[in-house]
Amino acid sequence: MATTRVKDIDFKSPAHVLQEIENMNVRGGSPFGRSAAWAYKLAIEQEELATYDALYDRICGLAEALHNYKPTMATIHNSSSIVKSFVEKNKDLPLEELKERTVKLCGNIIEKSFEAVEKLSVYGANLIPDGGTVMMHSYSSTLMGIYRQATLDGKKFTVICTESRPLRESRNAVKILQECGQHVIFISDASAWEFMPKADLIIMGADTLCTDGSVANKIGSAQIAQLALACKKPVYFASELYKLDTRTLYGRPVELERRTQWELVSEDDFPSFDNLEVINQFFDVTPARHITGIITEYGVLNPAQLLSRWDELLETLGE
């Protein structure tokens, strides 16, 4: 049976999860959240963890390591927070039962994420007109699900794909779109203004949803959304609700990751680096007022509606 799923890496151990995240082989907010759940699940299944304290300390250690690698990813925080809270609430259970139930919770997080992305893929595909043109920026496994669903629906369309520097991860999207048999126009980030008038709509993925409806995503997303206002093009972000960072309700800003300067420059680019600051900003935040809608498993929501569905989501995880 045809599927829109973009498979996770076949993780072998918690250390393998961390290695793949560090090497940037995990791509997209949803896979990061599932990867965190995989790390906890594999630790419990593979390691001795003979006492409650050993179990709890291991979870806390993994949570810190995961956050340090990808601080912007709300899905990592949510997986860590949900698992840690579950273990704390059930500390009086027999240890083996607690382990078994925690592994089940991790499995639920992974499976519900896939189900959410599959469901929203249908809603996102409905937005793509047959014969139309979509503009995208950066790579998103959720967005790939939408394109695959639109292809399964029999639609033919064009995708204008910005390269998404400095790592140019949009190249991964081109491969999938080619497999779908869709037409791709691959452009430089700086060309977005020139090509945007050709698009019917813009759809981007998301790394973090904020409770005020704003969205953190790969650097350049906010700029494209701003340009879309001038071009009078609708802007959608595709995201499972699990990417909502409820800490933003209490004033905590999204921690926007910066990466090494050597992804931008080489040592021989300049005679000297004296008085030169090189900043590799990796994420930005698009204000809610620049967003037409957020494509979720609960439908295409107004940004202001996100928080109202959060408790419903937690219930589906058994939390």
Model pLDDT, residue 3:
67
Q: Which two tokens stand for residue 58?
A: 């291991």
* Rounded Cα distance, 101 and 268, in Å: 54
Architecture in CATH of 120-316 = 3-Layer(aba) Sandwich (3.40)
Q: Is residue 1 over pLDDT 70?
A: no
Span 197-210, mean pLDDT? 96
Model pLDDT, residue 161:
98
Architecture in CATH of 14-117 = Up-down Bundle (1.20)
List pLDDT tens digits, range 88-105. Answer: 999 999 999 999 999 999
Domain ranges within the chain, ordered by starting residue: 14-117, 120-316
Longest CA pairwise span in the chain (Å): 64
Span 175-182, mean pLDDT? 96
Query: In the predicted model, what is the mean pLDDT of the chain?
Result: 95
At residue 68, the 3 state secondary structure works out as helix
Closest alpha carbon to 180 in 211, 201, 151, 157: 151
- Which residues have C-beta within 8 Å of that of residue 231, sequence separation ≥ 6? 196, 197
CA triple 257-261-262, angle to 5 deg:
125
Report CA-CA distances (Å) from 237 to 132, 288, 297: 18, 11, 12
Q: Name the phi and psi angles at 125, rounded to 5.
A: -60, -35
Record the pTM.
0.90
Model pLDDT, residue 4:
73
Span 267-279, mean pLDDT? 96
Q: Name the phi and psi angles at 136, rounded to 5.
A: -130, 165
Report CA-CA distances (Å) from 241 to 39, 76, 153, 235, 293: 21, 13, 24, 18, 13
CA 292 to chain centroid? 19
Span 51-76, mean pLDDT? 95
Model pLDDT, residue 28:
80
Closest alpha carbon to 120 in 244, 288, 300: 300
Q: How confident is the model at residue 319 (pLDDT cuts 50, 70, 90)?
A: low
Dump the DSSP string for 229-285.
HHHT--EEEE--GGGEEGGGGGTPPP---EE-GGGT--TTSSS--TT----EE-EEE
